[in-house]
Structure 1
Amino acid sequence: MMTNDNYMIIPTPSDFNFEECLVYLNRSNQEVLHQVEGKKLTKPLKINESLILLKMTSGDDALTVEFPFDKPSLEKCVAVESYICNWFDLGRNLESFYKMAHEDSILNNLVLKHSGLRIVGIPDLFEALTWAVIGQQINLTFAYTLKKRFVEFFGERAEHQGEEYWLYPKSETIGSLTVNDLKELQFTTRKAEYVIGIAKAIVSREITKEELLQMDYSDMKKRLMMLRGVGEWTADYVMMRCLNQTSAFPAADIGLHHALRKQLGLDRKPSTEYVEKLSRNWGDWRAYAAFYLWRSQYG
């Protein structure tokens, strides 16, 4: 990491393609937690109760991160770098993934077309869990509508040069809500109960990201599924996008089924059992296979 008056530079792997990640991040016009404008990504972060606005661009195997507000302290710059590296999985060596994928009839064309794509994570456990629950059993468009309402009602807003930027709601805020508070946003009763329950579990430290990261794959999944509202799909999704588990694979995911139907030229969506069996070919890289299949849905 190199820092200057109002920006810092974060080295990236040679096989990282920022623009491919931006396509994924820009898949909904209802997104409020970041903005993609051309090849620039803007996102607010809260670090030690300080609001930091990031404007990111890529070039020459590095990300340039500008700070439109005041330049953060060195300690906060280190925290920003850690967040970004986690967000884009920059510390991962993908050589063995690409070797496997180039020999796989389903993945070969995808990794050629979208080379450099990395899993775009959700580093915050509360956000990852509640976003997964919000998206349960509804289409992606309505999931983003609910998320936008959720963030704009209960999150924190910042302004810069006439633009609005939003932070995801804090677990403390959501843990203090009633079910009716969320039902007013068109959450179902059950989904509202789940989200509030997860918030309370985070606040009480009944479950923490640090604790989960000490567990093996099986124990991690079991621990997540002890939370009310977290089934196999939700647990796998959170393990894949928040807990850095490259073996995680949400086999029941409808988006994966649509992507595989297209890639395999099938007349109908494959069954979850078939998808699970197919995924065994991808070994410890099942999460990356899933992410490339999701990416194939966006052109």
Structure 2
Amino acid sequence: MLLNRLAERYGLSWAGDQGTACAFPGPEHLVNTSEEQLRALGWSRQKARAVLELAHLLAEEPRTFARLESMNNEDVCQAILPLRGVGRWTAEYVLLRGLGRIEAFPGDDVGAQKNLQRIFSLEQRPTYEHIKTLTARWCPYAGFVYFHLLLDRLAQKGLLSTR
């Protein structure tokens, strides 16, 4: 919801046959935005500060992250972890979604932990280290499994449209 509100407020929009769609805003769309404006959309002070710092960094130095594509997964994580608001989950999600590294499985994702607990009939949610062991057998497709589990849970909750 936060990202939808951000896209609706700051992204480019266009009208089509099925309504209006909004693109996710680029850094250039956010550099003149204040923390207070993001907070009015429901963002916490910490998230607002982190996204605005990142937007300013990318607007001022657009090639900052261009080198990430040529780096191995561990080096990518080490390069982005120092950024405000970026933890291990975010770094691994960037690998999977941002860089298309389908071998990445964000092990700190609580929903993914619960899904693995369910499908493996575990008594407790698996730890990060246990998840790495469980998902190793899916290499190099662990990210596909991550998305499959997410979609499965959304379908179980009736949140996927079949239209």
Name the TM-score class by shorter chain.
Answer: 0.7 to 0.9
Q: CA deviation at 1:227?
A: 1.9
The structure carrying a bigger strand percent of its residues is 1
- Opposite residue 207 of structure 1, the aligned amino acid is T
CA contact (8 A) 1:175 1:196 kept: yes
Q: Residue 269 of structure 1: SS of its match in structure 2?
A: coil
Distance 1:217 1:268, change over 3 A: closer
1:177 and 2:33 aligned:
yes
Secondary structure of the corresponding residue to residue 139 of structure 2: helix
- Residue identity over aligned pairs, in percent, reads 26
| Distance across 1 between alignment mates of 2:17 and 2:76 | 43
Task: Find the residue that maps to 1:194 and give its secondary structure.
Answer: helix
**Structure 2 length normalisation: TM-score?**
0.83
Higher RCO (CA 8 Å, separation ≥ 6 residues):
1
Query: Is the aligned partner of 1:262 residue 2:118?
Result: yes
- Is structure 2 residue 23 aligned with structure 1 residue 167? yes
Distance 1:290 1:163, change over 3 A: closer
Q: CA deviation at 1:194?
A: 0.5
Consecutive unaligned residues in structure 2, runs of 5 or more = 156-163
1:154 maps to 2:10: yes
How does the TM-score come out when normalised to structure 1?
0.48
CA distance, structure 2, for counterparts of residue 243 and residue 162 of structure 1: 30
1:202 match: 58
Map Cα deviations across residues 128-156 of structure 1 (whole Å, 9 max, x no partner): xxxxxxxxxxxxxxxxx212221111122
Q: Which residue of 2 is the match for residue 192 of structure 1?
A: 48
* Aligned Cα root-mean-square deviation (Å): 1.9
Aligned to 2:128: 272
Q: 2:13, 2:138 → 1: CA distance? A: 41
Deviations 1:29-59 (A, max 9, x none): xxxxxxxxxxxxxxxxxxxxxxxxxxxxxxx
Which has the higher Rg, Structure 1 or Structure 2?
Answer: 1
Residue 162 of structure 1: how far off its partner (Å): 7.4
Unaligned runs of 5+ in 1: 1-144
Residue 98 (structure 2) pairs with residue 242 (structure 1): yes
Q: Which of residues 77, 83, 86 is equivalent to 1:227?
A: 83
Give the conservation status (yes or no) of the 8 Å contact 1:175–1:203. Answer: yes
CA apart distance, 1:161? 4.6
What is the deviation of 1:199? 0.8
Aligned residue number for residue 158 of structure 2: none
Give the helix-richer structure, 1 or 2.
Answer: 2
